């Protein structure tokens, strides 16, 4: 009998693994690492290309409810968004930083009220200098919110922005999304950021 752990990964194209020819992305890699560590789970990759913080906040409750109806199942959510927020459209950002931070806070309030554990993976860079600078600043603000609430947060913007593998693969691809090597590096950041410890602490209920 195994613990019925269900983990929902909410995010954008990076959560969906766009550009990875192996189809694993970083989500598939950290899920595989969990199984290898003796922490089996049911994983739902709910990354949607182009989604912002507001988009995820608008859909996460309904999508979570649909996948956690079983009374005996423990569950958690992994949140990874923000890169698209910092995209300029018509001289305006898609989501202002302050609004993105407040929305994250409200989402965390709702998750806490529902007893749902949360793990946050910060927004990765997209290969555009000014936008990447905004992404790094937003990631720092997200990290402050997470630290204040004692929620695990993994900063990816700085490390991946300095990664030769990530930048080279993204440049050879569509300019923003890496291939397998870049996603493997992102997965390593998540693992180093306490992913397995967070998963192990999630209460599991034995089921058939």
Residue 123 exposure: Cα atoms within 13 Å on the Cβ side: 32
The reported pLDDT for the residue numbered 208 is 39
DSSP string for residues in 13-56: HHHHTTT-TTS-HHHHHHHHHHHHTT---EEEEEE-TT--HHHH
The tokens of 11 are what? 């995010």
In terms of Cα–Cα distance, which of 58, 54, 138 is closest to 103? 54
Average pLDDT for 50-54 = 98
Taking all residues of the chain, what is their mean pLDDT, rounded to a whole number?
Answer: 94
The reported pLDDT for the residue numbered 203 is 67
Select the CATH number that applies to the domain covering 2-207 from these four: 3.40.1080.10, 1.20.1250.20, 1.10.10.10, 3.40.50.1110.
3.40.50.1110
The reported pLDDT for the residue numbered 71 is 59
The reported pLDDT for the residue numbered 4 is 83
Please give the share of the chain, as a percent, with pLDDT higher than 70.
94
Tell me how long the chain is.
208
Q: How distant, in Å, are the alpha carbons of 26, 61, 82, 142 from that of 13? A: 11, 20, 11, 19
Tell me the per-residue pLDDT of 80-116, one tens digit each, with 9 for 90 and over: 999 999 999 998 999 999 999 999 999 999 999 988 9
Average pLDDT for 1-13 = 88
Q: How distant, in Å, are the alpha carbons of 26, 69, 97, 204 from that of 76? A: 17, 13, 25, 11
């Amino acid at each position: 009998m195994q613990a019925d752990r269900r983990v929902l990964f909410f995010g954008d194209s990076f959560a969906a693994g766009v550009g990875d020819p192996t189809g694993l992305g970083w989500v598939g890699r950290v899920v595989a690492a969990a199984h290898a560590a003796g922490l089996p789970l049911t994983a739902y990759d709910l990354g949607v290309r182009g989604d912002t913080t507001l988009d995820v906040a608008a859909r996460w409750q309904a999508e979570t409810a649909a996948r956690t109806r079983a009374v005996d199942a423990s569950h958690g959510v992994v949140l990874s968004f923000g890169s698209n927020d910092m995209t300029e459209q018509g001289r305006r950002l898609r989501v202002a930083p302050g609004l993105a931070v407040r929305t994250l806070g409200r989402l965390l309030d709702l998750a806490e009220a529902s007893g749902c554990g949360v793990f946050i993976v910060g927004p990765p860079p997209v290969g555009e200098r000014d936008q990447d600078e905004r992404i790094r600043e937003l990631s720092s603000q997200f990290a402050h919110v997470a630290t204040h609430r004692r929620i695990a947060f993994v900063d990816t913007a700085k490390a991946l922005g300095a990664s030769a593998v990530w930048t080279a693969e993204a440049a050879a691809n569509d300019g923003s999304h890496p291939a397998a090597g870049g996603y493997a590096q992102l997965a390593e950041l998540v693992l180093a950021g306490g992913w397995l410890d967070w998963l192990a602490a999630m209460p599991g209920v034995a089921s058939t």
